[in-house]
Amino acid sequence: MAFGTQRWPWRSGRVPAKWGFATRNDVGMPAEADASRDLRVGDPVRSTIGRAALGSTVVAVVFVVMTWAAKELPSLYVREPWQDDPYDTVVSFALWCVPMLVALCTLRVVMCRRDAPLPVRRALDVVRASRVLVAAVALTLASEWSSVLVHAHRAAWTATTTALIWGLLLLTVLTVAVSRALRLAGRATRRFADAPSQPDWLADAIALGERHAQRLGSSRRLALRVLRWLDSELIARIRCYPLRACGVFAVGAGVALASPQVIYEGYSTTVAVFFVAVAGCGMFAIIAIVGSHLRIVERPDAPSSAVSVALVLACASVPLTVAFRDALWALLATDTDGGLAELAELAIGVAMATGAVVLAAVPLARGRRARPRAR
């Protein structure tokens, strides 16, 4: 699932000349337009992509502001239907994932210049990232609407709840409108299905740093040395071991995601560790799946190993188990009070079962795909 483990023959900014992109001295911009690799200046496809990306960013900003206010302001939080699990789990992860996706989109967009050819790979990645961004917002909206439809916390509904639902409706309409713009952008880029593999996200990150390093004056040389070290050491290792890098990042993201609630609620050490573990598993699955879809690290044509797929999906099952714990307790018809120890056992058991099923299913699915080719 995650990314690949093959060592690549280039580093982030050292893209082979055969792809027609600039060297690191040109901060990652293509030297001249090539119909198969670049979108020329003035190409109408560029404006279509730009409108879709701008719309996605606007939706994301409005979503984060409204969702954060509804979740963090006590006067609003106690009146919203989606204040508890499983709805709140989706909202909590979205409040972290959507800003991260906006940052990724911004990284790509700022590398697009009106007066220079636009690499097709960069344009396609902007569209992909915008789609994922809107999909994350839409998934959260669907979760919130489901809480409204089942009248969750109906006794606490007031005029404030009505206002929140009207805001939810307006945001839903805006999301649908932007989805249409993304559909048009997708149609406009269908002819670029066989896009080059570079410049990828990591190459653009280094190129953007080099662009800004040129403005540092006397500190420019030091900044460029740091960037070259990051490129040759850190970025190179991420390319070689992307799943490990994903795990390291997920640990930090999990701590950041769980810490506010742990501190505010005054959880004990055991409960805090459990919440951090759940958040880390969820972030690991999200980063791995989204990173694979966006091709953050360019991977070889060989599919990911069954172990990687099983690991990612097993981690994804952990926050889902916690979110739907009440339904699972009822399904298991257990007499337990659903304490922390029992919940941890349930989450671990579901994760192990998920991993085992995936380990068995992936080879079978790939075997079925390969049979017609063998004939």
Tens-place pLDDT, residues 113-160: 888 888 888 888 999 999 999 999 999 999 999 999 999 999 999 999
Q: How confident is the model at residue 369 (pLDDT cuts 50, 70, 90)?
A: low
Question: Is residue 124 within 8 Å of residue 148, measured between CB atoms?
Answer: no
Q: What percent of the chain has pLDDT over 90?
A: 51
Question: Is residue 207 within 8 Å of residue 199, measured between CB atoms?
Answer: yes
CA distances to 243, 244, 291 from 249, rounded to whole Å, are 10, 9, 12
Q: How confident is the model at residue 168 (pLDDT cuts 50, 70, 90)?
A: very high
Question: Is residue 109 within 8 Å of residue 342, measured between CB atoms?
Answer: no
Q: How would you class 71 by CB atoms within 10 Å of its CB: exposed for 0-12, middle for 13-18, buried for 19 or more?
A: middle
Q: Helix, strand or coil for residue 118?
A: strand
Q: What is the pLDDT of residue 77?
A: 93
C-alpha span between 334 and 322 (Å, rounded): 16
Q: What is the pLDDT of residue 189?
A: 86
Question: Is residue 284 within 8 Å of residue 248, measured between CB atoms?
Answer: no
Q: What amino acid occupies position 187?
A: R
Q: What is the pLDDT of residue 31?
A: 44
pTM: 0.84
Q: What is the pLDDT of residue 17?
A: 33
Question: Is residue 243 within 8 Å of residue 5, measured between CB atoms?
Answer: yes
Q: How confident is the model at residue 22 (pLDDT cuts 50, 70, 90)?
A: very low
Task: Output the average pLDDT for the chain.
Answer: 84
**pLDDT digits over 47-77, tens only?**
999 999 999 999 999 999 999 999 989 999 9
Domain limits of the chain? 1-19+199-240, 29-192, 242-375
